Structure 1
Amino acid sequence: MEIDNNLKILRVKLRCNSKKIIEDIINRNVLLNDKDKKLNDEICLFCASLNDLTKEHVLPKWTFENCTTKFFVTDVNGSRQKYNKTTVPVCAECNNSLLGSIESHIISILKGTDLSNSYYNGEQLQNIIRWLEIIEYKFQLLEIRRRFNRAKSSEYIDYLKNIPISIMREEINYSPSIAISQIRLAQKRVTTKSKMKNLNSLVVFKTVNKHFHFFHHLDDFIFIELPKFRVALFYFYTRTFDDNEQAKDEATKIIKRFYN
């Protein structure tokens, strides 16, 4: 199948270039002390190509119905970020030929399954997980590239302004090395083919809500509600469960905290 081939190509590209991508991320976003340091040109964050770079949306435009006003709020500093402006650099080939094809396949899965009388098969569930893990990787890249500036409710502190948002997290003790390690883990998830052991970590809800909802916590979980397909997906990136009901219970607790 075309989807299998494209996923394989993406895995190989990222696996072969992961070290170069990490080095570029560190030089561009973590080693900030040298004001005179000249940065190299941007590279594709999947294959490290310098050519034909495009702006790849972290969340595909079809998920938020290409609405230009919808936004999410970053917990770290309370800043708002519009979905349609939330992008990372990806070359045209990876964007259009690979990621675009994967998204089209996910749309066909969601569109072709009525949860009232059917369910996704094992391979479809694995592909949904693969897609959600690609989104997590893109979010990791986004947050290491975005700058803290200041917390919305705090005074401006000059020396904090250029620190990446992903580093300014209390749960990782404001550690650059942990932030980079989490990007490496996100890369590893994308480059790992089998998702069989993660099937119980994906919770699928049938929904009748009419509005898109989304929340996400780096290296932890993602929730995305897609009213067009009458489905909501919750996925734990790092936790595994003995059965899906256990995951559903945990997901429901988190949804009650964050859903609004």
Structure 2
Amino acid sequence: MNVHLKLVQLRKKIRGNKKKVTSAIIANHSAEMCIICGSQEQLTREHVIPQWVYNRCAKRTFETTTNGIYQTYNKTTLPACKDCNSNLLGYLERHLKHEFERVDVSHEEFSQDTLELIVLWLEILEYKFQVLDLRRSLNKVNGADYIPFIGKMPIAMFQGPVDTSPAKVFSNLRSALHVLSVKSKVDRLNSLCIIHTKNKNFHFFHSTNNFIFIELAEFGVAFFYFYKQTFEDYSLTTKSAMEIVQDHYA
């Protein structure tokens, strides 16, 4: 079975269950159910960032943008049923990993088909981070004292340049899951920047509902994706992405 038939199954699952899934997550942020289809059977732990991306290094950590604390990628997981995790999402990742191994972006370009799959993969990461932000409680806002009153409020309420209302957070979550059920990503390709990298280490940073950057040092490629912003010309995408990347690395 090829990757496109797997994605047909994935889209069907999402379309048939997205209301149930988002309603359950909104009602109980820690609900033990598959974040893709809502099943409570054969639950597994889906890594928010796939383990192969960082060579399964259990010590690799990332900083949470609001809490200002570190947690390991290895222990950052969400519930997903065996079928969604291994059979569907896992199949997509294995297919893309093969493409990353096969294509040297310093000499050639990914096909449009592969670019659309990369966009979908990055949108899946965005959705998983939105769910994760709902499940994590706020410890503190960077540079501020801990306030017990807001300590149990989800991090998602405090993401972005302006504090986000619960209604907006939940709307973003519904939209993020719906996006995964959209078949064609052609109109999103100018929001994706492909970067040839010579860095030796995996790197990742992310701004909820805004952009995502992931550097796959093993494959010599990095991806910067503007989650909602669109550009008329790819050169504008590249310019905007590189300004953010350079600022982050500075």
TM-score scaled by structure 2?
0.95
Hey, what does 2:41 align to over in structure 1?
Answer: 51
CA deviation after TM superposition for structure 1 residue 259, in Å = 2.4
CA deviation after TM superposition for structure 1 residue 117, in Å = 2.2
Does 1:84 pair with 2:74?
yes
Which segment is superposed worse, 172-181 or 43-52? 172-181
Hey, what does 2:174 align to over in structure 1?
Answer: 184
Q: 3-state DSSP class of the match of 1:193?
A: coil
Match of 2:223 among 230, 233, 237: 233
CA deviation after TM superposition for structure 1 residue 65, in Å = 1.1
Q: 3-state DSSP class of the match of 2:55?
A: coil
Match of 1:61 among 27, 51, 55: 51
CA deviation after TM superposition for structure 1 residue 90, in Å = 0.3
Q: Are the equivalent residues in 2 in contact too, given 1:130–1:190 (CA < 8 A)?
A: yes
CA deviation after TM superposition for structure 1 residue 52, in Å = 0.9
Hey, what does 2:186 align to over in structure 1?
Answer: 196
- Among all aligned residue pairs of Structure 1 and Structure 2, give the percentage whose two residues are the same amino acid: 41
Does 1:124 pair with 2:114?
yes
Q: Are the equivalent residues in 2 in contact too, given 1:79–1:152 (CA < 8 A)?
A: no
Hey, what does 1:33 align to over in structure 2?
Answer: none
2: CA distance, partners of 1:170 / 1:13: 30
TM-score scaled by structure 1?
0.92
Hey, what does 2:21 align to over in structure 1?
Answer: 21
Q: Are the equivalent residues in 2 in contact too, given 1:79–1:151 (CA < 8 A)?
A: no
Q: May I ask how many residue pairs the two structures share in their alignment?
A: 250
Q: Are the equivalent residues in 2 in contact too, given 1:172–1:178 (CA < 8 A)?
A: no
Q: Are the equivalent residues in 2 in contact too, given 1:146–1:165 (CA < 8 A)?
A: yes
2: CA distance, partners of 1:140 / 1:28: 14
Question: Any idea what the Cα deviations from partners look like across 1:222-248, whole Å, max 9, x if unmatched?
Answer: 111111100011111101111111100
1: CA distance, partners of 2:159 / 2:184: 31
Give structure 1 regions of 4+ aligned residues with deviation exceeding 4 angstroms. Answer: none
Match of 2:146 among 145, 151, 156: 156
RMSD: 1.5
Q: Are the equivalent residues in 2 in contact too, given 1:202–1:235 (CA < 8 A)?
A: yes
**Equivalent residue runs for 1:69-148 within 5 Å:** 69-148=59-138
2: CA distance, partners of 1:73 / 1:16: 35
CA deviation after TM superposition for structure 1 residue 153, in Å = 4.4
- CA distance 1:79–1:102, change in 2 (3 Å): same
**Equivalent residue runs for 1:161-172 within 5 Å:** 161-169=151-159, 171-172=161-162
CA deviation after TM superposition for structure 1 residue 105, in Å = 0.5
Listed as ranges, the gaps of 5+ residues in structure 1 are 30-38
Hey, what does 2:8 align to over in structure 1?
Answer: 8
Q: 3-state DSSP class of the match of 1:163?
A: coil
1: CA distance, partners of 2:210 / 2:144: 27
Hey, what does 1:206 align to over in structure 2?
Answer: 196
Listed as ranges, the gaps of 5+ residues in structure 2 are none
Hey, what does 2:214 align to over in structure 1?
Answer: 224
Q: Are the equivalent residues in 2 in contact too, given 1:72–1:83 (CA < 8 A)?
A: yes
